[in-house]
Amino acid sequence: MTGGRVFAVENLNELPDVATKISLELRNQYVLGYRPSNKAHDGRWRKIKIKMYAPRGLPPLSVYSKTGYYSPRIKDVVRIFPQISSQRYHEDFCL
């Protein structure tokens, strides 16, 4: 669910290779953000799909991401962040 990766090491001799792979991935990360068109705050699952097209001449690219998320419910946000009132939540996030 997090989009994280696991690099299993069965033999300590594999450790340098795995460390190199991890360092390459850490240097080639991007953070994407978006605002959903569905503004309902109902706690339901929303699917997302990331598509990436490699520029001509580059090898195929890989995407590791979440497959979706649960939309926040107003009552949960107000409970977790008591400094945010329901009215302020609507004004800041629902308009």
Query: Which residue has better confidence, 67 or 28?
Result: 67
State the average pLDDT over residues 60-87.
77
List the domain boundaries for the chain.
12-93
Contact residues for 9 (Cβ-Cβ < 8 A; gap 6+): 15, 18
> Tell me, what's the pLDDT at 89?
59
Read off the pTM.
0.55
pLDDT digits (tens, 9 = 90+) for 1-27: 455 678 889 999 999 999 998 888 788
Give the Cβ contact number of residue 72 at 10 Å: 15
pLDDT in tens, 39-56: 888 889 999 988 888 888
Give the 3-state secondary structure of residue 13. Answer: helix
